[in-house]
Amino acid sequence: MTERITIQAKNGGAFHAYVARPATQPAPAVVVLHEVFGVNEDIRQTCDELAAQGFVAVAPDLFWRQEPDVDLRIDTETDWQHGLRLYMAYDRDAGVGDIADTVRAVSQLAGTTGRTAVMGYCLGGLMTYLAAARFGVDAGVAYHGGDTDSYLGEAGKMNSPLLMHLAEEDEFITKDAQARIKEALAGKPGVTIHSYPGQRHAFSRHKGAHYDAASAALARSRTVEFLKHALA
């Protein structure tokens, strides 16, 4: 079952979120943070898959302050450039507030247990890391979070369980950046980082140019196991 809800921003305004629900409720929730393409087909499919695994999945519109309800394709240059413009202009600090508002709303949503994780891809992966560091979440899952290495000074505030997936051949996150991410988070209780040899950025994106079924399935199984344990 899917629906769209409206979330009130604490500092004014409102934005939409896609919701996919499991057959059995109440259930723990996962806030799914999108890439540069908005809440598009790929993100909705991810939410539907999480619902099939027993989670209430909620994907908020991160770009609502710039352009509400962005839904871009991954296979056209026009949409890529559109998404990149939104990404470059995105206010990450305001975005952390929007994610906090989403987590707050979702934890009180009918049909949820109150336990809520945040999971994101690329931009969403970075925002998951920032959310976990700045206001704390029940659990966080970050897939190839671009520019995370620019915020490693905040790693010391990390007290949330965090699972991170990194593609070793990521064209947007250098090997040096990946090494510094691992070093900064080394020894943090509850933090696990998995690397995927031979994989490029967004290896888990459905129908993406670098989609790898085996690595995507492995990352997904690790994610589901982590979430079920952390949100129990």
Return the active site residues.
170, 201
What are the start-end ranges of the E strands in the chain?
2-8, 14-20, 27-33, 56-60, 112-121, 139-143, 162-167, 191-196
Contact 187, 162 (CB under 8 A): no
Nearest-angstrom CA–CA distance, 93 and 23 = 35
> Reduced to 3 states, what is the DSSP secondary structure of residue 167?
strand
